[in-house]
Amino acid sequence: MENTVLIVEDNEINRALLMTILEDTYQVLEAENGQEALEILRNPKNSVSAVITDLIMPEMDGYQFLEVYSSSPEFANIPVIVSTSQSDSESEVKCLEYGAWDFIKKPYNAQIIRFRVKNVIERSELYALRKLRYQEQFDTLTGIYIQNMFINRTKKMLKENPDKDFMILHFDIYQFQVYNSVFGRREGDKLLCHIADMLRKMAECGTCMTYCRIEADAFCICAPAADNEMIQNIMDWFQKDFQVYQRDYNILANMGVYYVEDNTVSIPVMIDHAKLASKECKGNYIQNYHIYTEEIGKSIQEAQSIVSKMERAMKEEQFVLYLQPKYGLAKYKLRGAEVLIRWLTPEGMVSPGKFIPVFEKNGLIMKLDYYVWEQSCKLIRNWLDRGIKPFPISVNISRVSMYNPRIVEEIHELTVKYDVPPELFQLELTESAYTDNPESIKKAMQQLQEYGFKILMDDFGSGYSSLNVLKDISVDILKMDMKFMAAPGSENQRRSESIVANVIRLAKDLDLPVIAEGVEEKEQVEFLSSVGCEYVQGYYFARPMPVAEYEKLAFT
């Protein structure tokens, strides 16, 4: 491919002379000043191999051009030759400071110009090749191996030491992005270089060790296998060093450990296993390393399997509504139900305890919430179309869904779409969700109540700020978990009964009905009735059941 030379010269005669000298060998572009030259260089259509620039020009002279050129990483491989009639050393020093590669003197000598252009282009190509080769092996920031080189060197080390046991360590900094935002990107880069220096020191203290920077703040080490005490000593060494390195910030390292027991496992898979283990101790200031086990791998695979099957499960309506009845304590009559979700696959039922936490962790719970809301609206519409006057049913709103800025609109739009009266469609939100984002939740709850929805506070009393939440956020019904109640005959029974009685009394003072959930014993029912609790929900009365079974119970 023909190389391109950019001539930056305001004198038309000088430009023409340089073009005549170079056009037989190169494609030549022209610019009358530094500003035009920068525009040409930044145009992705132009691939410039070298620049010849004059120093004295209007608008942007050669010095100003060189100053911008030297501070622009995208021009690093494009050599600049300064064309000048000045012969003072001060000008040359200034140009060299700004990154000029060579000089040509006026009046021009054609042969000298051709050789100098040819030489700087060859030098730049050699420099680029060396840089590329370096980048194929080493991390440009820290100077240690990148992952590919680590894999190659580690393979070689394991092969040459078949009688030794090794471990792979995945090492990173907890919330490194916070450190960057507090101290700035440059200080974050310095910390990464410091970690690389620490790894070099580790390698100097022993034999058979490879290490690399994988990405961002993540590093990987392969070293002779060590016991828990030695691994903890390594982590303590890092932590003590970090305390000295940055006294104004508590830098917390996390490490995942994978013991190399099967050499048929690929190095990238070993790294992945160590990384998975490191996630088990994220943010843990006491146990800041974790050893990979098969259970961790199985749990991750199971979670991935659950996520991959979700979309199809929704399309095929494998997620099925179950209803758990709520009863009035006055006459033990049905007064409504809570909507729960069950996943019925062709292979059998997937426990909510397995898929709900997975969906909460990756945000898919928002999709599931919406699915449940819509299916519940369809169910109520079906009952109304059949001439049935149903009791209200309540649906759950996950903590993640409360961060959806359109949650009020989505719920309202669903009830409008299916023509469902809001009083039949109640909303349950756990107390802990209120404490996560109180102001936005308070606003959303008020808007929903204005539309006519009733808000139930689920798990009341399970958090650390129950009374505060009750003071600040208007709810319509309290749901109190019977975990408050100690087992009959236990030493804490009297205290727990006193707490429950006072919660119910407080609710009555605030005109809030109370639903006691998790009621499983006759003694609990009798006690709740004696202290004025209005509603109960639990296995003593009914377990969660399919819709058809609930319809028989409620409407016949």
Model confidence band, residue 285 (pLDDT cutoffs 50, 70, 90) = confident
Quote helix, strand, coil % in the chain, to nearest 5.
50, 20, 30
Dihedral in degrees, nearest 10, Cα atoms 43, 49, 53, 57: -10
Whole-number pLDDT of residue 486: 60
Whole-number pLDDT of residue 19: 94
The partner residues of 202 in beta bridges, in order of sequence, read: none
**Which tens digits make up the pLDDT trace of 486-504?**
666 677 778 888 888 988 9
Residues 164/224, Cβ–Cβ less than 8 Å: yes
Report the C-alpha gap between 431 and 75 in whole angstroms: 57
DSSP string, 110-130: HHHHHHHHHHHHHHHHHHHHH
Q: How far is CA 161 from CA 155, 165, 234, 389, 541, in A?
A: 10, 8, 23, 77, 66
Residues 372/366, Cβ–Cβ less than 8 Å: no
Whole-number pLDDT of residue 399: 86
Portion of the chain with pLDDT greater than 70, in percent: 97
pLDDT of 463 over the 60 cut: no
Whole-number pLDDT of residue 470: 76
Residues 74/45, Cβ–Cβ less than 8 Å: no
Whole-number pLDDT of residue 493: 79
Average pLDDT, integer, range 8-31:
94
Model confidence band, residue 435 (pLDDT cutoffs 50, 70, 90) = low
pLDDT of 462 over the 70 cut: no
- Return the SS3 of 394: strand
Whole-number pLDDT of residue 142: 96
The partner residues of 29 in beta bridges, in order of sequence, read: 6
**Which tens digits make up the pLDDT trace of 87-131?**
778 888 889 988 899 999 889 999 999 999 999 999 998 888 888
- Return the SS3 of 55: coil
pTM over cut 0.85: no
Domains of the chain as residue ranges with CATH? 4-135 (3.40.50.2300), 147-292 (3.30.70.270), 302-555 (3.20.20.450)
Task: Indicate the range of 279-283, 411-415, 460-464, 531-535 predicted with least confidence.
Answer: 460-464
Give helix 89-97 / helix 62-70 axis angle, nearest 10°: 30
Instruction: Retrieve residue 469's tokens.
Output: 């939440």
Q: What is the bridge-based pairing of β-strands 166-173 and 218-224?
A: antiparallel
Whole-number pLDDT of residue 466: 63
pLDDT of 217 over the 90 cut: yes
Whole-number pLDDT of residue 76: 83
Whole-number pLDDT of residue 130: 82
Average pLDDT, integer, range 259-263:
91
**Greatest pairwise CA separation for the chain in angstroms:** 111
Model confidence band, residue 283 (pLDDT cutoffs 50, 70, 90) = confident
Closest Cα to residue 463, out of 484, 442, 445, 446? 484
Query: When comparing pLDDT for 490 and 64, which is higher?
Result: 64
Cis peptide upstream of residue 513 (ω within 30 degrees of 0): no
pLDDT of 464 over the 60 cut: no
Residues written for the chain = 556
Report the C-alpha gap between 380 and 481 in whole angstroms: 27
pLDDT of 371 over the 90 cut: yes
Model confidence band, residue 4 (pLDDT cutoffs 50, 70, 90) = very high
Q: How far is CA 426 from CA 235, 332, 469, 517, in A?
A: 51, 21, 19, 16
The partner residues of 8 in beta bridges, in order of sequence, read: 31, 53
Whole-number pLDDT of residue 304: 84
Check the CA dihedral 261-265-271-274 and report its sign: negative
